[in-house]
Structure 1
Amino acid sequence: KQVYKLTRRIDSISNKQASILMENDFEQKEQTSVNDSLERRESQDNDNDKLECFYLEITPNDGPYQNGSWVFRIEITDETDYPVCQPLVSCLTQIYHPNIDTTYGNNHNNVCLSTLNDWEPTNTLDDVLQGLLFLFYEPNVDDPLTSNVSQDDDEFLTNVRVSIEGGIVEDFDEFQQNYGYKKYLRLQQKLKREEDEKIFQNHN
């Protein structure tokens, strides 16, 4: 029921920075790590008939992670005793972030989020979404989940951009260009072509 409510409200409460994906939507994604993660988790899902899970795609409008997209898996099972206990939240897309650890292929329960750590039965999936959005705008380098992330502000911001645009960051696996950033570049190229066509037409 909460997933249905979140689906109806997600545009307004996220300022169109988040969307809920169905599993077949991943076939359209270009980020290999997302597809690999789904395959690795599929066998575990089949063993739990009472599993409810869905996928959140977050694309920040601003901040250090602007123009990238990341997919999160939200799991609610009998074992988690939701909503008494917090859901399991996993980032499936490679990311450079102090509070999300996707190093060495880690893709399960790899998000450090105060909303989850301080979970109350009155919390909802809306709170999880807002907490994830907050992580993208205010990454907490003072309390990192992974120690490999730089605590120097300038170096941190540089490394974030490298991780999105594609490249090598020290102490991390090589980052492939983020699939959301690829989509952003294609859109910019399309807009540029349309603008050039208008200019050409106006001169003829």
Structure 2
Amino acid sequence: MINLFKIKGQKKEEAANALNRGTVKKQSAGELRLNKDISELNLPNTTTISFPNGKDDLMNFEISIRPDEGYYFGGIFTFTFQVSPSYPHEPPKVKCKTKVYHPNIDLEGNVCLNILREDWKPVLNINTIIYGLNLLFSQPNDEDPLNHEAAAVLRENPKLFESNVRRAMSGGYVGQAFFPRCLVGSTAR
């Protein structure tokens, strides 16, 4: 019996020492899943990922997309991801930091992508969202808009839409809204 108490005492002492040395933070199920998703990312060559708060904060990160075709060719667009500890049971919150003239992204940076709302399922992952965001730049959708004015122009006058996108990306006004320059390098076509 005495040996059993001695072992129990040693275990308590070891646990106390571990607390004094600083413990490793236990990861939530969401953090574990996100870790897996990020380690398995297969980013398109138009996309980069960064961790502004350092690699210790995987739950908040940014991706930048540089479309290599379509209306948005030559621009660079940055999105923030805030991932909840209940991920993958709820989708990350995604916002566009770059002000963009786009039917599916409003002027406050909210993104209309079905998999970020009603079509989210826990089997989807960060890679799926990134491919969805890339698709918005190659195939803007005028049928489910957040920016109704841009959607109407795209639907009714694609040439004017292209001109508005170029003006916005070059740093200028479209209607009453000013857009900071987001073109990189020389992208004259």
Cα deviation, residue 91, structure 1: 0.4
- Select the structure of larger CA radius of gyration: 2
Cα deviation, residue 24, structure 1: 7.1
Residue 74 of structure 2, aligned match among 64, 67, 83: 67
User: Does 1:176 find its partner at 2:183?
Assistant: no
Cα deviation, residue 86, structure 1: 1.1
User: Does 1:129 find its partner at 2:134?
Assistant: no
Query: How do 1:153-168 residues align onto structure 2 when only pairs under 5 Å count?
Result: 153-168=158-173
Give the match's secondary structure for 2:148: coil
Residue 21 of structure 1, aligned match among 31, 50, 62: 50
Q: For 1:3 and 1:169, locate their aligned partners in 2 and report how far apart those are by CA, in whole Å.
A: 40
1:71-110 deviation per Cα after TM superposition (whole angstroms, max 9, x unaligned): 10011123xx2111111110011100010012xxx24xx1
Indicate conservation of the 8 Å contact 1:98/1:139, yes or no.
yes
Aligned pair count? 149
How does the TM-score come out when normalised to structure 1? 0.65
Change (3 A) 1:24 1:51: closer
Q: For 1:51 and 1:61, locate their aligned partners in 2 and report how far apart those are by CA, in whole Å.
A: 28
Query: How do 1:1-204 residues align onto structure 2 when only pairs under 5 Å count?
Result: 1=32, 2-3=34-35, 5-6=37-38, 9-10=41-42, 13-14=43-44, 16-23=45-52, 52-78=59-85, 81-102=86-107, 106-107=108-109, 110-117=110-117, 118-149=119-150, 150=153, 151=155, 152-171=157-176, 173-178=177-182, 181=183, 183-185=184-186
State the Cα RMSD in Å.
2.5
Change (3 A) 1:3 1:64: farther
Change (3 A) 1:4 1:58: farther
Give the match's secondary structure for 1:23: coil
Give the match's secondary structure for 2:136: helix
How does the TM-score come out when normalised to structure 2? 0.70
Q: What one-letter code is carried by the residue in structure 1 that aligns with 2:70?
A: G
Q: For 1:89 and 1:125, locate their aligned partners in 2 and report how far apart those are by CA, in whole Å.
A: 11
Cα deviation, residue 4, structure 1: 6.0
What are structure 1's unaligned runs of at least 5 residues? 26-49, 189-204
Q: What one-letter code is carried by the residue in structure 2 that aligns with 1:18?
A: T
Percent same amino acid among aligned pairs? 32
Give the match's secondary structure for 2:179: coil
Indicate conservation of the 8 Å contact 1:51/1:77, yes or no.
no
Give the match's secondary structure for 1:148: helix
Give the match's secondary structure for 1:129: helix
Indicate conservation of the 8 Å contact 2:112/2:144, yes or no.
no
Change (3 A) 1:86 1:174: same
Indicate conservation of the 8 Å contact 1:114/1:131, yes or no.
no
